A = this chain, B = another copy of it.
């Protein structure tokens, strides 16, 4: 029973069906009928005109976006535990041509205006220190915390004051919104976000993410950068069709709710052990080595997360009985 991550789960059957249904000759790259619908579909969803680009991975979505927001000789402010810093093999350095990630601390991988302002103040304003050009946050964070729209907006205001462009890594944005019930518009462009990586792969997609531009003036640049990075699939319809299937009837939100519900079941059983409140589909538990071993012996797989902690991640298709068994096992520790 795997609680390693949501990133290797099966894709939803509707996604697989959409891939099969789109399997016919059409215009190459993003000229096909599915790709051509993306801008419209996302514009509806975000309640304003946006430009949407499919890509195959979250790393590509994040780093294409960041490259458009930050020139090679400037910096991107993010949390020390941000995925772009910790788990993307230095991809931001590659895509931006050597821009610097300026790292901030903060509980639960969450940034606040105060933290960001202090981070900016710590940089001497001269040519010797790398001046920041962008701010990047992850929602939900790498520790499963959620930014409310008002929190994003506060960061957006600060970004504007400081002349920073604003990027959101939304690999688990669906999970965040499933919790808050807020709108995509409120948590993104209305809060000042310029570019959003909107994740589907962890949430029932197969290999499709959407890079959403609220600053639509960046779209020509992104189109070229996507090609130049080898991310312009010739049969791009396979990605577009997945995304459209995920949007259809709000599947993306249903899936996220299912994953979050499973996480809450586990959270209820683990209350005293929680390192952070469970606001999405990730749980970090204080568990001794001996206890972790006991869980493993019962067939549960998960990551250790530093000494005395484990990480559990639920998925859109987390098996109900496996979740219940794990909840019981945790309660019985």
Contact = CB atoms under 8 A, between A and B. Distances in A.
Nearest to A127: B227
Contact of A90 (B63, B100, B202): B100
A216 interface: no
Interface string A221-243: 10111111111111100110000
27 contacts: A7-B235, A8-B25, A9-B25, A11-B23, A16-B20, A20-B20, A29-B127, A56-B56, A56-B230, A56-B231, A57-B230, A60-B230, A60-B231, A64-B230, A71-B221, A73-B89, A73-B94, A73-B228, A74-B90, A88-B128, A89-B224, A91-B229, A98-B98, A127-B226, A201-B235, A206-B235, A231-B231
Interface string A185-222: 00000000000000001100011000000000000010
A128 B4 CA distance: 16
Interface residues of A, number: 72
A165 interface: no
Interface of A: 2, 4-5, 7-11, 16, 19-20, 23-29, 32, 55-57, 59-61, 63-64, 71-75, 86-91, 93-100, 127-131, 201-202, 206-207, 221, 223-235, 238-239, 317
Contacts of A63: 230
A11 B237 CA distance: 12
Copies in the complex: 4
A75 to B, nearest CB: 7
A245 to B, nearest CB: 13
Given A23-B16, A28-B7, A127-B224, A94 B98 contact: yes
Contacts of A61: 230
A37 B72 CA distance: 30
A73 B225 contact: yes
